[in-house]
Amino acid sequence: MQGVITMLEWPGRCQICNQQIEDWADAGLHGKRWIHKVCYANQGTNKDDLPPLRSPIERSKSLEWPMLVSILLFHFGIGVGFIGWIMLTQDTTTRTDSTGYLLLTIGLITPVLGIIGVALNILGRRRIELVRQALELSGGWKPNL
């Protein structure tokens, strides 16, 4: 759920101080959340204890699996819906009607969830692209302060 919140969170906020990130050159990616470089440096007593801060653009890599799942939800949902529709129209027994209605309901809901997931993913990717453009305008991202 935290990945979805980060994907929807715009403008980005630091996970420690909760302030809006104004300049992406002064921020990075820690885990799956945004963090200011200063807040990150103040987090540990010894700089060697902290794992290296990653570029904010690397956030796009964590959007690949949710996109795949959303696309699969859409396609398999359509397939299940067709199976339910075929069960309802091809057989007249009441035993398969309830199964057909169940499959048709799943086949109507699941593709909608897939479309919503794809739309959210596209928004997240667009936001990362805006971050990349802002970083290019400021001279790129450097891992140190």
Domain boundaries along the sequence of the chain:
2-137
Q: Residue 51 pLDDT > 90, yes or no?
A: no
Contact 97, 88 (CB under 8 A): yes
Quote the mean pLDDT of the chain. 82
Least confident of 15-19, 47-51, 110-114: 47-51
The pLDDT value given to residue 93? 66
Model pLDDT, residue 10:
65
Contact 47, 41 (CB under 8 A): yes
